[in-house]
Structure 1
Amino acid sequence: MQIKSFEEYEQTYALSVEQPETFWAGIADNFLWRKKWDKVLSWNFTEPNIKWFEGAKLNITENCLDRHLEEHGDDPAIIWEPNDPERDSITLTYKILHEQVCRFANVLKKNGVQKGDRICIYMPMVPELAVAVLACARIGAVHSVIFGGFSAKSIADRINDAQCKLVITADGAFRGAKQIQLKEVIDDALIGCPTVSKVVVLTHTRTPVSMLKGRDIWWEDEIKLVDTHCPAEEMDAEDMLFILYTSGSTGKPKGVVHTVGGYMVYAGYTFANVFNYKRGEVFFCTADIGWITGHSYIVYGPLSQGATTLMFEGVPTYPTPSRFWEITTKHKVNTLYTAPTAIRSLMSFGTDPVRGQDLSSLRVLGSVGEPINEEAWHWFDEEVGHGKCPIVDTWWQTETGGLMISPIAFVTPTKPGYATLPLPGVQPILVDEQGQEINGNDVSGNLCIKFPWPGMLRTLYGDHDRCRQTYFSAYPELYFTGDGCLRDADGYYRITGRVDDVINVSGHRIGTAEVENAINMHAGVVESAVVGYPHDVKGQGIYAFVIFPNHHEDAELTRKDILQTVTRVIGAIAKPDKILFVSGLPKTRSGKIMRRILRKVAEGETANLGDVSTLLDPTVVDEIIDAAKQA
């Protein structure tokens, strides 16, 4: 299954394009199926309707756990490194992880969870989070993991959209020097969530919490009441595995749906190849399981391949900026997969924190979440990899399920700032605004994919038409990624950023409409417009232009009030970095906000704003420029 040379990559890629069904059937043969498929693929991008491995029966946890037990049951499956370096790390072997997953799956069944029920998981980065995810998959329940930084309102929206039956949470979470009251946030969220009947609470921070009789139960108590025998539920390849909410260009988050068979094959295949994984190595993905990176490359991808995956509870700079490097030294990490934001943040502390550690175990470095800038690429290469570790700069999305355009470690020649070439089975295409294909090299356009791959989303939960409109309507018969892209003289791809109203902050997509809705909830705000702008650490920051007639009384306090409102409605992750009070917004006569102008102002490029004569009130632009200069 692993590609060993660039020549083999070219041959494999050619096969995957010319005979995709033959290619993917061959890859799928490396996994465990209770019944093989009747048909590899049926699809159209108009409805859209995509089915992979139709008629096949399986359970993904048998691939991630059971099939490794006989020969590798005592191998480490998960290593957990806590937030506090003074605390001991924990290692779960495949055998122990299998027992814990079966036991917790029985807890879910005991509490009324059945195949197809949706389960909300809002937990810290602890081993029990992986256990909870796998336990849902074991019994055919659909997990919806929500990142621990979201607010009660954001959680309630997601729980209600998926009509979750049960919530799994913890008393609290540690994140650097902070303690987050998870149970308290869940309690606030559940005031408006009538479908939730049970809440399972894990003890982690030992924070006092309110436990409601009849609804709230302790994880520790429940697992004592069940045994470790839990047969895996037989699933159809196209049954739902999980829902993961992602920000869109409208205010309402989208519940991206991934299914069991195709997602498993794609996550496992891309993991094994891109990172050139060798059994026994330690794979350290620094993401949170609340994002797709954690789903695919902390849990399902690595475990499906019998890997050792390292989970980290903390943040890169706590208690010192040596934390990543200490973990790498301590656990002899072989692959480090992290975000450009983390790299840029650690660069700012200089080289001393890195040089004090033994990083000789590293073989492969990876970057995820946003395009990595050249300066960060070279620092990562020289200071962390000592020039001997290939950097896989990976491009993919929540919707794609797994890596799409990326170097293959030790196979693809790399180039700083480039995601390089598509993986086998991925057929990218660049189009202009009219949807015409842009052929040849040294060109740029909007990035689309013209043929399905097994890991792609199947729908948006409860709203298939929105799925069609968002991804398949802009350009007929193509999946539109929402990203701009250039293809250089060598045919290498470089992602240039979002072309829709989505901002990529620290590798996390945040819809401008969602932030604007939150700002507009503040009592004094008349209207707002949000754009992204270049940020030295985050990649993109959030710049908010706000009409607030009475802000002059205490502008700084008003800014803090607005930030508090955004934190309350969405979570701290969506707080604007800059708020500029303005008297009006640049609008067309039809009332559309001209974000192009606001982006230029946010970037400090006010000399060339283009034609503003078509605006309803062109003088607003000068006022905004003056306000920005004075800010």
Structure 2
Amino acid sequence: MTSPNPAQSRYFDVYESWKRDPEGFWAEAAREIDWFEQPKKIFDANEGVYGRWFTGGVTNTAYNCIDRHVKNGRADQPAIIYDSPVTGQVRILTYADLLTEVATFAGVLKEKGIGKGDRVIVYMPMIAEALIAMLACARIGAIHSVVFGGFAANELAIRIEDTQAKAVITASCGIEVTRVIHYKPLLDHAIELSSVKPEVCIIVQRPQEIATLIEGRDYDYAALLDDAKARGVSAACEPMAATDPAYILYTSGTTGRPKGVVRDIGGHMVALKWTMKNHYDIDPGEVFWASSDVGWVVGHSYIVYGPLLHGATTIVYEGKPVGTPDAGAFWRVIEQHKVKALFTAPTAFRAIKKEDPQGTFLAHYDVSSLKYLFLAGERADPNTVQWAEDLLKVPVIDHWWQTETGWAIAGNCAGLGAMPIKLGSPTFALPGYELHVLNESNEEVARGQTGALSIRLPMPPGCLPTLWNNDQGFIEGYLIEYPGYYKTADAGFIDEDGYVFVMARTDDIINVAGHRLSTGAIEEVVANHPDVAECAVIGIADGLKGQVAAGFVLLKAGVVREINVIEKEIVAMVRDQIGPVAAFKTVLTVNRLPKTRSGKILRGTMRKIADGEAYKMPATIDDPATLEEITAALKAKGFGTSVEAA
């Protein structure tokens, strides 16, 4: 693979053009969107908390994702490929098929009393109907809030209550590798718990489990669709203000109040459409696969809206990187559907690396269609990036963003001509983001010094304008600590060449005897041990030093060396490469790390266990039993003796 040549990249020219004229830059990008009425102002600093984009503009997301492509010659092109190794199904929906399904279901929703501004909870597995439901809401101007399928009833109830949801769209069950998750009992319990009672629940009945419907409230999705098609029911696209909410997506917060990130319609479309070519180098008609879930922001932006706005083909994958059926699952999908770019979380590749360290499964598949691997969702450790690049022989592009931003803050813009990478860095800030590294006094630190990564206001289009019904919470949570900036709550630095390094959440900077150390930097060292498949480093309270670092490691499949020898080698590596100041003496070898369903390691919860603090079981945890394993491992080392789950 040839190294990128900075002289051949247009990145710096494009970034500087944005800095010179931000409104002109986004006005040009907005020409890629079909407007019913053109915006009166590109940016209005007098609207909203910090200003609003494309005020006065009128448009519709579903129209831009579907109708215009059907009108412009893409009717027969695949829009959605549903690939489900857990059920053995592959289903292809062309843009014409998608228009029929979405317009019909939108008509069904209207007949059930759902209209512009109403909130609809979408509680779905990774099936095509999840996308149809989201787009149908967009078509009629309803505001959807997707809740990850299988979330606990209490968490679902909180979201029903906070949104004042009028309807819920769900499925009878979700299907995992080893189990069926019963959605309907969770939904019924959530409605019991909630003071808000949705008027309508529409259920996709899956053959693996047929849910019992409550008369007068619950309806069978397929029966409604069949009846509506027979009667010719169809809904037109509702004209929507660019500043109207497209959706609400809840993210983790430190307070008891739900934190509903709002995405507005106009800025959302403009930003995502721009990224598809300029960042991901995807052309209309090409196949883009974001291996995520519609319950997360990646699923919203790059399974549903980004690819469809662009006229590309998107993949809805109901499976895992390993176990459905093996560590070659991703390679099979790439070959079968001719995927040009794969976007996934680093944890997916760590799982593949753990099961198949030599990458032997790849030899069974033709993945020559793949031109890029994009990683995001958590920090991409250099070891995993290097392993993936050596295996696939394509650029591996780390990029950094958040639920709140909706698209990348920093990343290597493949469509502008990729820049040379530095392992551990997502490269440069994207146009729209002026990134600064600040200290506690709101002062910029020197290049190379770690501080709080912060974005100068205003945020670009596509980022949250506020939290749902909580402007003050938005101001207090994101804008007060660093006046004039948005607080990302991520720590890192910008080096002399302008490369951004995101090292940890700000609360993952540990203080060892007065020395501020990044757990991410220590994890880089640990991950380089040849027997380590995956790792996590946390700070544990220490009476003498304040905190000390401890590492948790998973070993690669087939490793037979003595564990205590490996652990001593890891300690020596950290001492050699970070220094004795890290006081790194504790390594715990475990079988699994506790993670969210999106693959993020629950370091904060692990730290509470280690410090013997009570903790709340995270709503997003994939398997609660992993916390029991971590607790046992820590207790064996003398940590966390008074811990209990709240």
* Alpha-carbon distance in structure 1 between the residues aligned to 2:217 and 2:426: 48
Distance in 2, matches of 1:625 and 1:156, equals: 32
1:413 has 2:412 as partner:
no
Q: Which one-letter code corresponds to 2:205 in the other structure?
A: T
Gap runs ≥5 in structure 2: 1-5, 510-518, 521-537, 539-548, 555-592
What corresponds to 2:542 in structure 1? none
Decide whether the 8 Å contact of 1:292 with 1:401 is kept in 2.
yes
CA separation in 2, counterparts of 1:22 and 1:501?
39
Provide the residue aligned with 2:85 in structure 1.
83
- Alignment match, 1:507: none
How far off its partner does 1:272 sit?
A: 2.0
Where does residue 488 of structure 2 map in the other structure?
481
> Deviation per CA, 1:251-299, whole angstroms, max 9, x where unpaired?
4331000110001111111122111002332111100010000000011
Letter in 1 for 2:468: Y
Match of 2:227 in 1: 225
- The structural deviation recorded for 1:114 is 1.1
Task: Give the secondary structure class of the aligned counterpart of 2:219.
Answer: strand
Does the residue aligned with 1:224 lie in a helix, a strand or coil?
helix
Return the match for 1:464 from 443, 457, 471.
471
What is the TM-score normalised by the length of structure 1?
A: 0.81
Are 1:132 and 2:133 counterparts?
A: yes
Equivalent residue runs for 1:511-530 within 5 Å:
none
Contact kept, 8 Å, 2:150 with 2:182, in 1: the verdict is no
Pair 1:491 & 2:554 matched:
no
- Quick check: 1:327 aligned with 2:333? yes
Q: 1:261 maps to which residue?
A: 266
Secondary structure in 2 matching 1:191: helix
1:244 aligns with 2:246: no
Indicate how the Cα distance of structure 1 residues 570 and 189 shifts in structure 2: closer, same or farther if over 3 A, else same: farther
> Does residue 347 in structure 1 map to residue 353 in structure 2?
yes
What TM-score results when the alignment is normalised by the length of structure 2? 0.79
The offset of 1:487, in angstroms, is: 1.2
C-alpha distance in 2 between matches for 1:93 and 1:341: 32
- Tell me the alpha carbon deviations over residues 384-411 of structure 1, each in whole angstroms, 9 at most, x when there is no partner: x22xx22221100110011120001242
- Is contact 2:250–2:261 with CA below 8 Å preserved after alignment? yes
Q: Name the structure 2 match of 1:543.
A: 606
For the 8 Å contact 2:150–2:174, the answer to whether it is kept is no
Residues 573 and 501 of structure 1, relative CA distance in 2, 3 Å threshold: farther
| Alpha carbons of structure 1 residues 494 and 149: separation in structure 2 relative to 1, 3 Å | farther
Deviates more, 1:300-309 or 1:352-361: 352-361
Query: What are the Cα deviations for residues 123-172 of structure 1, in whole angstroms up to 9, with x where unaligned?
Result: 11000100000000000000000011310000001110111000000110
Q: Within 1, Cα distance between the matches of 2:499 and 2:138?
A: 37
- 2:67 corresponds in structure 1 to 66
Displacement, 1:420? 0.4
Give the superposition deviation at 1:360. 1.2
Residues 149 and 171 of structure 1: CA distance in aligned 2, closer, same or farther (over 3 Å): closer
Aligned structure 1 segments of 4 or more residues deviating by more than 3 angstroms: 4-7, 500-504, 531-542, 544-549, 569-576, 578-582, 601-604, 623-628
What's the secondary structure of 1:49's corresponding residue?
coil
| Cα pair distance change 1:91/1:5, threshold 3 Å | farther
Q: Aligned-pair distance for 1:49? A: 3.2
Matched AA of 1:182: Y
Amino acid at match of 2:477: T
Aligned counterparts, 1:354-393, within 5 A: 354-383=362-391, 385-386=392-393, 389-393=394-398
Query: How do 1:497-508 residues align onto structure 2 when only pairs under 5 Å count?
Result: 497-500=504-507
Aligned letter for 1:237?
A
Looking at structure 1, the residues matched to 507 and 468 of structure 2 have their Cα atoms a distance apart, in angstroms, of 21
SS at match of 1:160: helix
Superposed CA deviations along residues 478-531 of structure 1, whole A, max 9, x for unmatched, are 100000011123210011111148999xxxxxxx9xxxxxxxxxxxxxxxxxx9
* Paired position in structure 2 for 1:404: 409
Q: Which residue of 2 aligns with 1:619?
A: none
Which residue identity does 1:37 align to in structure 2? P
SS in 1 for 2:362: helix
Pairs aligned (count): 547
Partner of residue 577, structure 1: 627
| Aligned equivalent of 2:617 | 566
Matching residue of 1:455: 462
Given residue 78 of structure 1, which amino acid in structure 2 is its aligned partner?
I
Residue in 1 that maps onto 2:585: none
Cα distance per residue 1:181-218 (max 9 Å; x no partner): 11121111111233311100001244132211100000
Q: How far did 1:376 drift?
A: 0.5
- Residues 559-583 of structure 1: per-residue CA shift (max 9 Å, x gap): 9xx99x937x66546666357889x
Question: Is structure 2 residue 297 aligned with structure 1 residue 292?
Answer: yes
- SS class of match (2:131): helix
2:435 aligned residue: 428
Counterpart in the other structure of 1:446: 452
Query: More displaced, 127-136 or 47-56?
Result: 47-56
Deviation at 1:438, TM superposition (A): 2.2
| Matches of 1:5 and 1:168, distance apart in 2 | 50
Shift of 1:74: 0.7
* Stretch deviating more after TM superposition (137-146 or 349-358): 349-358
Name the % identity: 34
Query: Distance in 1 between the 2:609 and 2:486 partners?
Result: 34
AA of the residue aligned to 2:601: Q
Return the offset for 1:417.
1.6
1:449 shift after superposition:
0.5
**Structure 1, 478-487 or 193-202: larger mean CA deviation:** 193-202
Q: Is the 8 A contact 1:543 1:579 kept in 2?
A: no
Identify the match of residue 19 of structure 1 among 13, 21, 25.
21
What letter is aligned with 2:606? Y
Q: CA–CA distance in 2 between the matches of 1:424 and 1:625?
A: 45
Counterpart-to-counterpart distance in 2, 1:30 and 1:143: 24
Q: Secondary structure at the match of 2:261?
A: strand
1:202 alignment partner in structure 2: 204
On the 8 A contact 1:139/1:232 being kept in 2, the answer is yes
Distance 1:372 1:316 in 2: 17
Q: Does 2:321 correspond to 1:316?
A: yes
Aligned amino acid, residue 221 of structure 2: W
Q: Distance between the aligned counterparts of 1:478 and 1:548, measured in 2?
A: 33
Q: Please give the alpha-carbon distance, in whole angstroms, between the structure 1 residues aligned to 2:189 and 2:165.
A: 16
| CA deviation profile, 1:308-340 (whole Å, cap 9, x unmatched) | 011101111122121111111111211111110
Pick which of 294-303 and 205-214 moved more. Answer: 205-214
Q: CA RMSD in A?
A: 3.1
Are the counterparts in 2 of residues 445 and 484 from structure 1 also a CA contact under 8 Å?
yes
SS at structure 2 position matched to 1:225: helix
- Structure 1 residues 533 and 142: CA distance shift in structure 2, 3 A: farther
Aligned match of 1:553: none
Structure 1: gaps spanning 5 or more residues: 505-511, 513-530, 550-558, 583-600, 607-622
2:9 & 2:348 partners in 1: Cα distance? 34
Using the TM superposition, give the Cα deviation of residue 42 of structure 1 relative to its aligned residue in structure 2, in angstroms: 2.0
In 1, Cα distance between equivalents of 2:463 and 2:470 = 16
Give the drift of 1:361: 1.2
Amino acid at match of 1:164: A
Cα shift at 1:463 = 1.5
